[in-house]
Structure formats: structure tokens, C-alpha cells
Amino acid sequence: MRLKEKVALITGGGSGIGAAVARRFAEEGAFVAIGDVNPRGGEQVADEIKRRGGRSIFCQVDVRKRDEVNRMIDQVVQEFGRLDILINNAGVTRDNLSARMSEEEWDFVVDVNLKGTFLCSQAAFRPMRKQRYGKIVNTASVVVRGNMGQVNYSSSKAGIIGLTRTLALEYARANINVNCIAPGFIDTPMSAAMPEKTKELALDRIPIKRMGTPEEVANLHLFLASDEANYITGQVIFIDGGASIGI
């Protein structure tokens, strides 16, 4: 097992990619903590892992709030004794054209996606530094290249890339690897809510001509969270069926 008895925390782990990562990590022997603002989804994933013989807990958290993030990290360390892996997966959208976007729509997306990633990474650094080991994998997006109606989302995800590279430099001295995954069009509840015409246009830009699956993204998370990736840090890997290449 590639993550035997490693302790992994996945934010946004109650659905979509986060839930797939949680299940994949549990299959590889990890003790899994699910951090999510939604108790229903988070508890369901944690219970599923336990029914399959794994160890898992649910931590309700709003990643925009430092106190809640710190409490989540403390809960994980208290339960499992350490924290080896942090998957910063929690994310939201509030789409609108930039000329019409409200301050609330901007702030909410940037606070959850970018500030949340920063707060969780900062809090996880404390136990990881003490044990001189850690893997942090952040979540950007193919839309860092720009996307109509998503100025808040694309800006937050571009910021996560800068955050990843800076944390990789700062955390290396504590033997903590920090990398970033940039998914493309993935079959999740978020993409399911898109209008059919938007889906068709998105698929048309993908050379492989299909959506990705959460499980395919989870496999990349698994590699970066494992000791197989010990010499990889500060990197951004696109998993998008080729959508980010070409013209």
C-alpha cells in the first residue's frame, strides 16, 4: 500500500474530486480526515470508508475562517497523532461577467479558493514541521488561462499557483513538498450544473474529446502525496485531456 498508515486530510472531501481522493487514499492504507462545510456529504464519505474497514473522521469547516481551520488541524492530530498529507481541494464558483460581478461574488470565491488554501497550508505546516515530513497538494484549474464569466475563479486559481511555488520554497527546509494540480473539465456535481451548450463548447476544446473522471484526478493526487514524489516540489500539473495545449 502506497500510503499505509499515513494521515491525510482532504478539504472539500464530501463530494466530487475530494470524495474520490478520500476513497483512493483509504484504499492505499491512509487514515483519512474529511474536511467539508457540508456535514451530510462529509459524514457520508467518512462512514463509507469506515464500512470498508478504513479509518476516517469528518471535520466540519469553513476554510475561510482561521479558527475553524486551526480546530480542524487540531482534531486530526488529536485523532491520529500526526498529519502527513494535506489536499487543498475545497473550492467554489460564482460565475458572472466581470462588468456585472458583485463584490460579494468576487470575495466569496477568492476567500474560499485562495485564502482557504493559504489558511489550511499555514495551519498544516505546524505539525508537519515538527515531524519534518509533509505533502501538500493544492488545486488550481485549467481556467488559469482565462475564461469568460469566471474572472473571480480564474484569478483565485492563478493565485494558488503563486502560493504553491512560494510555499514550496519556504517549506522545503522542513522536508515538506508542495505541489499543485490543475484539473480541466471533470465529471463532478459542479460541471453537471453547467448548461448543455457550455458543456458542448468545453468538450470541443479538449483533444481527448471527453470529460475526465474524479478517479483519474485522484490517481494524480495519490502520486504527488506518496513518497514516489519526494523529489518533486513547486510544480503545477495540468490534468485536462490536453485542453491547455495548442491554440
DSSP labels, 130-194: HHT-EEEEEE--GGGG--TTBHHHHHHHHHHHHHHHHHHHHHGGGTEEEEEEEE-SB-SHHHHTS
Q: What 3-state class would DSSP assign to 47? A: helix
Q: Which residues are catalytic?
A: 153
> Residue 176's beta-bridge partner residues?
134
- Decide: residue 245, CB within 10 A, 0-12 exposed, 13-18 middle, 19+ buried: exposed
